[in-house]
Amino acid sequence: MTWQNQTLPHDHPPVRSGGVGVLLVNLGTPEAPDPGSVKRYLGEFLSDRRVVEIPQIIWQPILRGIILTTRPKKSAAAYAKVWTEEGSPLAVITRRQAEAMQERLGESVRVDWAMRYGTPSIPNRLDAMMAAGCERVLLAPLYPQYSGATTATVVDKASDALKAMRWQPSLRTLPPYHDDPAYIDALAVDISRQLDALDFAPELLLLSFHGMPERMLHLGDPYHCHCRKTARLLEARLNRPGLRLRTTFQSRFGRAKWLEPATDITLEEEARAGTRRIAIAAPGFSADCLETLEELAMEGRQQFIEAGGEEFAALSCLNTSDAGLAMLETILRRELSGWI
């Protein structure tokens, strides 16, 4: 009998196996495309002090009294347009990415996924990982560009869960990968493949990143710089001299000044200025979601065509493309080095 399976003289927790876990995390999404579910989701998301940096005493009455009484109905209608039989695209794609990483990384690692807001929650999946014997966890926020409003909130949430644990796992976090050659290459390969398959030749490729209040940039958030660097490296790597590229920021929310130029305004301005054929990619999103499938592919198309544009194509995110999965495997393996 080894020391490990002797009967212990006290109530002993199960001995863990020293396993390694990888937790892929994305933003979060409602449970269903109905106003009640969207209200619950937005209530949690928009109460995060890192997302809306207005003192809570001022913000909560605005959020509860105005935003959560009006926006959920409109947002639910938008979600309904992109919802699939398996659920919200963001959740479905993130789950598939986790399944594919489990396949690629093999049995020595347990791969799981979570949503920062809503379900499956980070504490719930960390508990499940630990119950399954993971003593080491790589926390992987799937945001290529770092922001306090996205990446940092994932680490906050995991840290809160760890605070309540007597026996914590060791934690590593995936660094931002906005300028990683593996990421830039994956984007270039996947975007080129999609451009080559179009039945028209775009004059302009718009790279649309999610926006944020400009104030966050002035307070030192690197997100804007990371987006610009991704765009610059991607343009060089794409190397399509006949194609003009522009970077824009989408999804303006609230009254504050957001990063510019805005995607919707640019689409209209370009059409009015005579651009007829356009393609749009969203390199900052690891998975297609409401912001790409509805705001860009549906609303964006309408804005461009109504302003005089003729051909419009919204390209897919990396999702579970070969290039995207190979890139994820590369950056995860690098961070797992010494653990597996």
Is residue 251 part of the contact set for Fe ion (CB under 5 A)? yes
The residue from 44, 253, 326, 333 that contacts ligand L6N33NVT (CB under 6 A) is: 253
- Residue 294 CA, chain-centre distance (Å), reads 16
Is residue 190 part of the contact set for Fe ion (CB under 5 A)? no
User: Residue 285 Cβ, how far from ligand L6N33NVT at the closest point, in Å?
Assistant: 6
Contact 135, 21 (CB under 8 A): no
Q: Which residues of 111-150 are buried (b: 16+ CB within 10 A; e: fewer)?
A: bbbbbbbbebbbbebbebbbeeebbbbbbbbbbbbbbbbb
Contact 245, 236 (CB under 8 A): no
Site for ligand L6N33NVT in 57-76 (CB under 6 A): 71, 75
In a 3-state reduction of DSSP, which class is residue 67?
A: helix
* CA-to-CA separations, 42 to 72, 176, 252, in angstroms, rounded: 8, 25, 15
Give CA–CA dist 113/124, Å, rounded.
10
Contact 140, 22 (CB under 8 A): yes
Is residue 311 part of the contact set for Fe ion (CB under 5 A)? no
Which x/- pattern over 257-286 shows residues binding ligand L6N33NVT (rule: CB under 6 A)?
---------------------------xx-
Is residue 44 part of the contact set for Fe ion (CB under 5 A)? no
Is residue 111 part of the contact set for ligand L6N33NVT (CB under 6 A)? no
Question: Which residue lies nearer to Fe ion by CB, 110 or 252?
Answer: 252
Number of residues forming the site for ligand L6N33NVT (CB under 6 A): 23
269 annotated to bind ligand: no
Is residue 295 part of the contact set for Fe ion (CB under 5 A)? yes
Is residue 150 part of the contact set for ligand L6N33NVT (CB under 6 A)? yes
Q: Which range, of 10-18, 248-256, 264-272, 320-328, touches Fe ion by CB under 5 A? A: 248-256
Amino acid at 86: E
Q: Which helix (H) or strand (E) holds 135?
A: strand 134-141
Report residue 22 as tokens: 């990888």
224 annotated to bind ligand: no
Question: Which residue lies nearer to ligand L6N33NVT by CB, 130 or 262?
Answer: 262
- Residue among 303, 229, 304, 216 at smallest CA distance from 258: 216
Q: Which range, of 10-18, 93-101, 288-296, 297-305, touches ligand L6N33NVT by CB under 6 A? A: 288-296
Binding-site residues from annotation for Fe(2+):
210, 291
Binding-site residues from annotation:
210, 291
Contact positions vs Fe ion (CB under 5 A): 251, 291, 295
